[in-house]
Amino acid sequence: MKHVISAIVQNEPGVLAHVAGMFAARGYNIDSLVVGRTEDENLSRMTIVVVGDDRILEQVRKQLEKLITTVRVRDFKDIDYVERDLLLLRVHAPADKRPEIVALVDLFRGRIVDVSKSSVMIEMAGPEAKLEAFIDLVKPYGIRELARTGVIAMQRGKTNSEKDEK
């Protein structure tokens, strides 16, 4: 089972090593880990997708909280949130197949960002499930190269969070 956890950490050298090292040492299985800036220059946000049952999720959360440089941890279990993953994908696209591919990209609200003779590069953002569905669909055309950022997530508006608190 996949869980999304977000951790606000101090924006300092070595912090990523602390987090990554903890995951490795405790044998937790992570699907993706994304680090980026936040509205506060002293803090970064890490979004981590962990694989495991509720018990593991609970331990991961506690162990993350225990790290000195971690300021706040939130797991999105039972919380209404928005998740986004960004995909860049180059797919084999000879002239005869190109219209089909373009149509697919449109359908998924992606964009073509680079075109060459035999391939196109596609950019697409969305929840993991959507990207995976898209990847499945273009696979038959021949994927040349694929890069994903991993999931970032944010809780939905205030009213929801108040509800969650209760």
Partner 1 sequence: MRRTRKQSNIRAPQAGWDGTDVLLACLAEENVEVMFGFPGAAILPVLDRLWFHAEGITNQTRRKRLAFSGALSTCYANSTERICGRNDIMSKTKTDAAASLAGTNGAQVFHRMLQAEGVETMFGFPGGAVLPIFDELFESPIQFVLTRHEQGATHMADAYARSTGKVGVVIATSGPGATNIVTGLATANMDSIPMVAFTGQVKSTLIGNDAFQEADVTGVTRPVTKHNFLVRDVKDLGRIVREAFHIARTGRPGPVLVDIPVDCTVAKLDSEPDLEPNLPGYKPRGGIGNERQIRIAADMINAARRPVLYVGGGVILSGAAEELTAVARKGKLPVTTTLLGLGAFDESDPLSLKMLGMHGTAYANHAVQQCDCLVSVGARFDDRVTGDLSKFAPNAKIIHIDIDPSSISKNVEVDVPVVGDAKAILAQMLPMIECPDRSAWLAQIDEWKKKFPLTYKADGDIRPQEVIEKLGELTKHDAIVATGVGQHQMWAAQFYGWKKPRQIITSGGLGTMGFGCPAAIGAQFGNPGKLVVDIDGDGSFTMTMVEVITAVQYNQPAKFIVLDNEYLGMVRQWQELFYGKRYSATPHACPEFTEIAKGFGAGAAKITDRRQVADALNEMIRYDGPFVLHVCVAREENVFPMVAAGKALDDMIHSQLI
**Cβ-based nearer residue to partner 1, 42 or 116:** 42
Site string for partner 1, 22-41 (x = CB under 8 A): ---x----------------
We find the least distance from the C-beta atom of residue 92 to partner 1, in angstroms, to be 38
Rounded to an integer, what distance in angstroms lies between the CA atom of residue 140 and that of residue 23? Answer: 35
- Using rule CB under 8 A, residue 100 touches partner 1: no
Closest distance to partner 1 from the beta carbon of 27 (Å)? 12
List 1, 2, 14, 36, residue binding partner 1 (CB under 8 A): 14
Of positions 37, 66, 111, 163, contacts partner 1 by CB under 8 A: 66
Stretch that binds partner 1, among 4-12, 87-95, 106-114, 144-152 (CB under 8 A): 4-12
Q: Minimum distance between the CB of residue 162 and partner 1, rounded to whole angstroms?
A: 23
Q: How far apart are CA 60 and CA 134, in angstroms?
A: 31
How many residues form the binding site for partner 1 (CB under 8 A)?
23
Q: State the DSSP code for 40.
A: S
Check if the beta carbon of residue 83 is closer than 8 Å to that of residue 153.
yes
DSSP three-state, residue 44: strand
List beta partners, residue 145: 90
- Looking at 16, 30, 58, 150, which residue binds partner 1 (CB under 8 A)? 58
Burial 99-116 (b: 16+ CB within 10 A, else e): eebeebbeebebeeeeee
Among 2, 62, 109, 156, binds partner 1 (CB under 8 A): 62
In angstroms, the first-to-last Cα distance of the chain is 25
d(CA 42, CA 52): 31
What is the CA angle 68-74-35, rounded to 5?
A: 70
* Residues near partner 1, by CB under 8 A: 8-10, 13-14, 17-18, 21, 25, 42, 55, 58-59, 62-63, 65-72
